[in-house]
Amino acid sequence: MADVSVVITVKDDPRVITCIERVLGQTASFSFDVVVVDNGSRGETPRLLRDQFGSDARVRLLASGGNLSESWNLGGHSTDAAILARIDADAIPLEGWLENLVGPLREGIADWTAGAVGGANVEAGVVAHYYHERTEAYNRRLARDPSLRDAVPSWNVAYRRSALQTAGWYDPWQASSVDWDLHKRLGRGGFRGQFVPDARVVHHHPTTFREFARKEAWYRTGQYQMALKYGLREMAGAFALGLAYGLVLLLALASLVWRSFVWAAVLLLVILVTKHWIEGIRESDPLWYYRGLFRPIEGFASLYGLLRGLVRYGIRRPTQS
């Protein structure tokens, strides 16, 4: 029985082969294995996995017809390891990743951890480069905090099994932001989180404006679901950007009837863009000037994601999840 199991979910992404190879190549002072759960692939990914790892005793290949949460939960329940790590199928762990990520768990000083994430495709264009620098700025903010934030992405995390059993696993009801939801429950349960800068992976970030906007909208739909669970007051910070640009849009529409509103819309837009630039400079983001372009895209995508959540899930808090 392995001390640590790395659980990876995948759907139609051949990059998982490289991810698994780099996980297996990790040097660690403990035993570990890899559990891969295919989440309904229709292409060549299942065959590639069987050909490459079908006879490897260190890798267990499973299949699930559910969503990401159901797939990852299935993988976690299939192993008895006391510690479960998660890495995205399109991420690549760097040397020392696994040892550093689970170190605080094995030492008993944390119940869950998250590592730093960089861009694996920074040279793919301005969108991937911006996303990389935004993520690196977030890494720096996390490193300054004494404890781990609940909003940290799940691209690179590890959990103590006992903490998951108490706080609950990933919630299949969540369309997205399943990581934030789980981490919030871990925090409410008193479980300690720690950011580990040396547990580093590189991740393939969006490369087009369309992909970038779709991701931001998708995240906000899940965060709307979280508002139904935890209340609007607790989740208000997640909605601020979308609502701000919703007000810009509302003022712009009002100016079609009352011309004076156009100046209010322009003034608010200038204030928001200036705020984004100042935030980027404070975070030492070398691409701070791009925030004036990308943050409005995030804002309008966020607004769309929130409205989609309202239409899909209504206004009632779920009785169970």
DSSP 229-285: HH-HHHHHHHHHHHHHHHHHHHHHHHTTTSTTHHHHHHHHHHHHHHHHHHHHHHTT-
**CB atoms near residue 291 (< 10 Å):** 23
Are the C-beta atoms of 167 and 186 separated by less than 8 Å? yes
Q: With 90 as the cut, is the pLDDT of residue 154 above it?
A: no
Please state, in angstroms and rounded to a whole number, the distance separating the CA atoms of residues 241 and 239.
6
Per-residue pLDDT, 90: 95
**CB atoms near residue 273 (< 10 Å):** 15
Domains plus CATH for the chain? 4-203 (3.90.550.10), 209-313 (no CATH)
Taking residues 20-48, report their average pLDDT.
95
Are the C-beta atoms of 45 and 10 separated by less than 8 Å? yes
* 81: Cα separation from own chain's centroid: 23
**Model confidence at 146, in pLDDT bands (50, 70, 90)?**
low
**Model confidence at 2, in pLDDT bands (50, 70, 90)?**
very high
275-296: per-residue pLDDT in tens?
999 999 999 999 999 999 999 9
- Buried b / exposed e across 213-241, counting CB within 10 Å, b at 16+? bebbbbbbbbbbbbbbbeeeeebeebbeb
Helix (H) or strand (E) holding 156: strand 156-160
Angle between helices 209-230 and 178-188 in degrees, nearest 10: 30
- pTM for the whole thing? 0.90
Taking residues 131-159, report their average pLDDT.
87
**Model confidence at 109, in pLDDT bands (50, 70, 90)?**
very high
Are the C-beta atoms of 219 and 211 separated by less than 8 Å? no
Taking residues 135-159, report their average pLDDT.
86
Please state, in angstroms and rounded to a whole number, the distance separating the CA atoms of residues 35 and 32.
10
Taking residues 176-183, report their average pLDDT.
93
Per-residue pLDDT, 318: 67
Taking residues 113-132, report their average pLDDT.
93
Per-residue pLDDT, 1: 82
Per-residue pLDDT, 316: 79
Burial of 171 (0-12, 13-18, 19+ CB in 10 A): buried
Per-residue pLDDT, 144: 85
